[in-house]
């Protein structure tokens, strides 16, 4: 089997036919599904071993299993939140959905397909969940393939929902009513100095917001507005949320990382805006011209390391914590984690002699901060600003030092390129 997998991973031979290439892709997909199943099995066994070790060490029952999800995340190179979801899915598959897990082990079902079934049956009793698992993922009485294998993702989701409603409509309704507690707004960077603003809302609220924006676009089009429908909807959303329609200017606080050379307001060197990334200086000035802006300028040394901070805010910041959060880019320092910083943590524990200094502090999300306190976890700062984390299994993960911020040198002109080529010759 290992020789077969190794041969597959070497890639198809030169001159392979189109049919052979399709077969190669199919076999690789089978291997991927089987690997995800084995990873799930290993994750469950890892938690069992960790819980036994923690129990023997006298860890309270409520803390048994702490840190395991983070170990899974580090091993699979994903965020701790994703690691927790993967561990939870693995436990469900092995304990409650044997047919779904069997399809994965056979290479016929992906981890994402299994996630859809687990998600849509989460509100049901164990018995009802097993009914759906059998109905969709068990082979037929005459050995027919499982129904789920031939379904697309949307078909699979709808089939699971229909069965769940049929088996226990009350639980599905109660789950829907409880889901409103998860409403939230999120923001993430997009290319070209744009951002994605998202909102998870109850369906009636989401439809109402979209309908209001759509009506604004129709009204603008009827009045001869040359903007596209999408542009009018986006502009209307911003205007109504920020209060610009009422003539109110938003109060914004912006952190800009710069070298001493970029201190002048007319500099054309790019600047780093915390929470987004590098932006052109001219764009930043234009974009912020209509707002009441409080700028916190952060200075770097000649090699780009953050060394000092000044504040123009009316309220003085909590200096050191503010410095660490900015130095770390606002993102958790754990390898693979992209969650926002929520805690300023001692790398080497204060109780173990760690100092409260920039060299021994790091920004972590809440999940990573809790995982680091579990039995057997250790960390230490490196001399270059990196952070070395050692898990209870003695695996070592190194978080590189924060990336220095310094503007790239301007590109060579055509004449300079030509001169360089002459000199190289």
Chain center to CA of 94? 26
316-330 per-position pLDDT tens digit: 246 778 878 888 888
pLDDT, position 315: 32
Q: How far is CA 357 from the centre of its chain?
A: 29
pLDDT of residue 310: 42
Report residue 298 as tokens: 């952060």
Q: Judge whether residue 131 has pLDDT over 80.
A: yes
Distance between CA 257 and CA 266 in Å, rounded? 15
In order of 83, 370, 371, 377, the CA distances from 360 in angstroms are 26, 17, 18, 16
The answer to whether the CB of 148 falls within 8 A of the CB of 167 is no
Percent of the chain topping pLDDT 70? 76
pLDDT band at 403 (very low <50, low <70, confident <90, very high): low
Strand partners, 361: 346
pLDDT digits (tens, 9 = 90+) for 371-399: 998 999 999 998 888 999 999 999 999 99
Neighbouring C-beta atoms of residue 307, cutoff 10 Å: 12
Q: What is the mean pLDDT of the chain?
A: 83
Strand partners, 297: 256
- Measured distance CA(162)–CA(131) in Å, rounded: 13
- Rounded distance between C-alpha atoms, residue 404 and residue 381, angstroms: 17
Residue 273 bridge partners (DSSP):
256, 277
pLDDT digits (tens, 9 = 90+) for 333-377: 998 888 888 888 989 988 888 888 878 889 999 999 999 989 999
């Amino acid at each position: 089997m290992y020789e077969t997998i190794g041969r597959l991973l070497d890639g198809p031979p030169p001159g392979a036919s189109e049919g052979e290439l399709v077969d190669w892709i199919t076999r690789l997909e089978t291997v991927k599904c089987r690997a995800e199943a084995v990873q799930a099995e290993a994750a469950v066994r890892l938690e069992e071993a960790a819980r036994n070790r923690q129990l023997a060490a006298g860890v309270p029952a409520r803390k048994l299993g702490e840190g395991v999800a983070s170990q899974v995340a580090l091993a699979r190179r994903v965020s701790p939140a994703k690691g927790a979801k993967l561990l939870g899915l693995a436990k469900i598959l092995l304990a409650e959905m044997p047919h779904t897990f069997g399809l994965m082990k056979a290479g016929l079902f992906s981890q994402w397909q299994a996630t859809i079934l687990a998600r849509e049956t989460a509100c049901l009793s164990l018995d009802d969940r097993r009914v759906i698992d059998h109905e969709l993922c068990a082979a037929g009485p005459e050995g027919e393939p499982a129904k789920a294998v031939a379904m697309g993702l949307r078909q699979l989701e709808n089939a699971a929902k229909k069965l769940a409603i049929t088996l226990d409509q009350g639980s599905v309704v109660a789950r829907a009513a409880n889901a409103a507690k998860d409403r939230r707004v999120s923001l993430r960077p997009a290319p070209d100095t744009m951002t994605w603003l998202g909102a998870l809302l109850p369906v009636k609220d989401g439809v109402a917001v979209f309908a209001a924006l759509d009506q604004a676009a129709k009204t603008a089009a009827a009045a001869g507005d040359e903007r596209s429908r999408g542009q009018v909807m986006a502009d209307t959303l911003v205007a109504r949320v920020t209060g610009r329609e009422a003539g109110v200017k938003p109060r914004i606080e912006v952190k800009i990382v710069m070298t001493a050379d970029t201190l002048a307001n007319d500099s054309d060197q790019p600047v780093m805006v915390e929470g987004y990334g590098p932006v052109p200086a001219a764009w930043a000035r234009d974009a912020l011209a209509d707002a009441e802006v409080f700028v916190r300028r952060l200075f770097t040394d000649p090699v780009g390391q953050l060394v000092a901070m000044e504040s123009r805010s009316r309220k003085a910041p909590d200096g050191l914590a503010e410095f660490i959060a900015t130095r770390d880019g606002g993102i958790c320092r754990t390898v693979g984690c992209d969650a926002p910083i929520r805690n300023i943590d001692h790398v080497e524990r204060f109780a173990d002699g760690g100092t409260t200094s920039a060299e021994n502090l790091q920004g972590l999300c809440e999940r990573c901060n809790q995982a680091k306190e579990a039995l057997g976890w250790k960390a230490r700062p490196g001399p270059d600003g990196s952070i070395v984390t050692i898990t209870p299994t003695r695996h070592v993960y190194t978080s590189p030092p924060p990336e220095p911020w310094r503007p790239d040198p301007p590109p060579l002109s055509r004449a300079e390129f030509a001169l360089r080529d002459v000199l190289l010759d």
